[in-house]
Amino acid sequence: MEKQPIKFWDRHQDGEEAEKNWDKNSDSLKAFHKLRPFKKLPKNEPGIRKSTKKNLRWKALKYLLINDEKKVFPKYFLKKPIAYSVSMTASYLKKNPYERDDDFFLYGIKNVTEFEHLLQEENSILAIGFSYCHKPFECPSGRFTDQCIHDDKSPICGQCFIGKCMHAMPENKTVPIVIPTVHDIGEKMFELSDQNPGKEILFMITACELTLKMFADWGNMIKIRGIGVRLGGQICNTMPAFVASESGIKPGMTVVLDKTQTRMMELISMRRSAENKAP
Ligand code: SF4
């Protein structure tokens, strides 16, 4: 990531005032610098097409292993082969390896309240990740990259939800990630888990429903707990669309729905308050 600007939230008395000013600024930017809008999928379009749902976990396993160019999986798996085999088998034996609360997919937690408690844990690292496909088309850092300058003076970043989250999240023990591919996020999560022994790795990551279902078992394997946030807009709901998106071919744009943005901001705000209280 490039040099980080001072966060918008750090320039305000409190989170409420910061968010109000961010939204006000974002609304006024919309008036003179319109971003290319995202197209909604047809109303009855499912999160995952019926034919794609078939043997999805097997397809996920095959896809991850065949396309693991950097050999991320063997590199980390072989460090704890027995522990990972046990937790992965336990996950595969479950019909649903996650719980669901509207757009939130819950991994290793029963409900959002449990996650809220975990956010207060001093001994935790929180990864907040964003799929590249909901960056604006005009993103100054480029779309298919892991970069995000989140320059709040930019009329594009000032209207971007990723920018808003970047400026709201605390510096300490909270790791922002922009995700070009599933292998990148897998590598990052393995890395965090490996580099922080004894710490609880938590996550909140945006992705299409297809990705959230395909890769649930892998998250359970490394025993990280958190929330996958389902995206709307022009999502990938078939394997060919997913595979194309993984190589940067994503003509459409996804979006975190408004009500879900509010829920994410609440959780980020809780994490910030917990960090501010920390000694
Ligand atoms: S804040 Fe949004 S528009 Fe700005 S660099 Fe980051 S992703 Fe791109």
The pLDDT tens digits of the residues spanning 60-79 come to 889 989 999 989 888 888 99
DSSP string, 86-103: HHHHHHHHSS-SSEEETT
Report whether pLDDT(95) > 60: yes
Write 89-96 long-range contacts (CB < 8 A, 24+): 90/220, 91/216, 91/217, 91/220, 91/221, 92/57, 92/217
150 CA → ligand 1 middle, Å? 5
Tell me what percent of the residues of the chain surpass a pLDDT of 70.
96
In this prediction, residues 255-264 reach a mean pLDDT of 96
Q: Is 139 in the pocket of ligand 1 (CB under 6 A)?
A: yes
| pLDDT digit string, tens, across residues 142-173 | 999 999 999 999 999 999 999 999 999 999 99
Specify if 3 maps to a domain: no
Specify if 1 maps to a domain: no
In this prediction, residues 44-65 reach a mean pLDDT of 89
In this prediction, residues 259-276 reach a mean pLDDT of 95
Q: Which ligand 1 atom is nearest residue 130's CA?
A: 7
| pLDDT digit string, tens, across residues 165-220 | 999 999 999 999 999 999 999 999 999 999 999 999 999 999 999 999 988 898 89
Q: Which ligand 1 atom is nearest residue 160's CA?
A: 2
Q: Is 141 in the pocket of ligand 1 (CB under 6 A)?
A: yes
Domain tally, the chain:
1
Q: Is 150 in the pocket of ligand 1 (CB under 6 A)?
A: yes
DSSP 213: H
DSSP 143: S
* Closest listed residue to residue 221, CA positions, set 67, 99, 90: 90
Residue with tokens 């600007």: 5
Specify if 165 maps to a domain: yes
Q: Is 157 in the pocket of ligand 1 (CB under 6 A)?
A: yes
Q: Can you give the pLDDT at residue 276?
A: 80
Q: Is 168 in the pocket of ligand 1 (CB under 6 A)?
A: no
Report whether pLDDT(1) > 70: no
Task: Tell me how many degrees the CA angle 41-105-72 measures, rounded to the nearest 5.
Answer: 95
Q: Is 256 in the pocket of ligand 1 (CB under 6 A)?
A: no
Q: Is 174 in the pocket of ligand 1 (CB under 6 A)?
A: no
Specify if 254 maps to a domain: yes
Specify if 2 maps to a domain: no
The band of 2, judged by pLDDT with boundaries at 50, 70 and 90, is: low
Specify if 175 maps to a domain: yes
Q: Which ligand 1 atom is nearest residue 166's CA?
A: 1
Mean pLDDT of the chain: 92
Specify if 234 maps to a domain: yes
Side-chain-side CA neighbours of 48 within 13 Å: the count stands at 18
Structural domain range at position 271: 8-277
Q: What is the pTM of this model?
A: 0.93
DSSP 226: E
Q: Is 165 in the pocket of ligand 1 (CB under 6 A)?
A: no
Report whether pLDDT(89) > 90: yes
Q: Can you give the pLDDT at residue 218?
A: 87
